[in-house]
């Protein structure tokens, strides 16, 4: 694995852990949810991701365990180069439905996360029979 690929995987892990810390803090502190979370999340997003269309705060419900917690217990980490400027980083878990995948793009010389996906299962009908199904989410 190349150094650049290792750096991209570490960036995804770092983002996920910091996002989970913010969500966990919001879960336990209602005043932080209302008065500090949005600013902190926007700062984190600007550091690791791009595109206002990729950002959502409404999807966060301050759940336990936090949104990306399964990354910490992933059984394997895979990175696949989709193009010169795009990687897909997958954190596989057991059970597999807790697996998470990040899409990472390079813009202006910097790698940033554009979205994440969660594993849904295997298609059992239609043109994609036997293919894995991943649900796309905003960060």
**What tokens does 35 get?**
């008065």
> Which CATH number does 3-137 carry?
3.10.450
- Distance from CA of residue 90 to its chain's centroid? 9
Mean confidence (pLDDT) of the chain: 90
CA–CA distance from 101 to each of 33, 109, 125 (Å)? 26, 22, 23
Q: What gap in Å lies between CA 80 and CA 107, rounded to an integer? A: 18
Evaluate if pTM is beyond 0.85.
yes
- The structural domains of the chain, with segments of one domain joined by +, span 3-137
Over residues 33-85, the pLDDT tens digits come to: 888 888 998 899 999 998 776 676 655 667 778 889 999 889 999 999 999 99
């Amino acid at each position: 694995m190349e150094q650049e690929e290792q750096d991209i995987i570490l960036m995804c892990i770092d983002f996920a852990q910091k996002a989970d810390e913010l969500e966990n803090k919001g879960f336990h502190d209602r005043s932080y949810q209302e008065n500090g979370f949005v600013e902190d999340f926007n700062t984190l997003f600007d550091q690791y991701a791009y595109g206002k269309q990729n950002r959502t705060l409404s999807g966060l419900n301050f759940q336990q365990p936090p949104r990306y917690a399964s990354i910490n217990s992933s059984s394997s980490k895979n990175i696949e180069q989709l193009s010169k400027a795009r990687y897909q980083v997958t954190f596989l878990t057991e059970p597999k439905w807790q697996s998470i995948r990040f899409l990472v793009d390079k813009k202006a010389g910097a790698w940033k996360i554009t979205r994440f996906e969660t594993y849904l299962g295997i298609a059992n009908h239609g043109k994609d029979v036997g293919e894995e199904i991943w649900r796309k989410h905003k960060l």
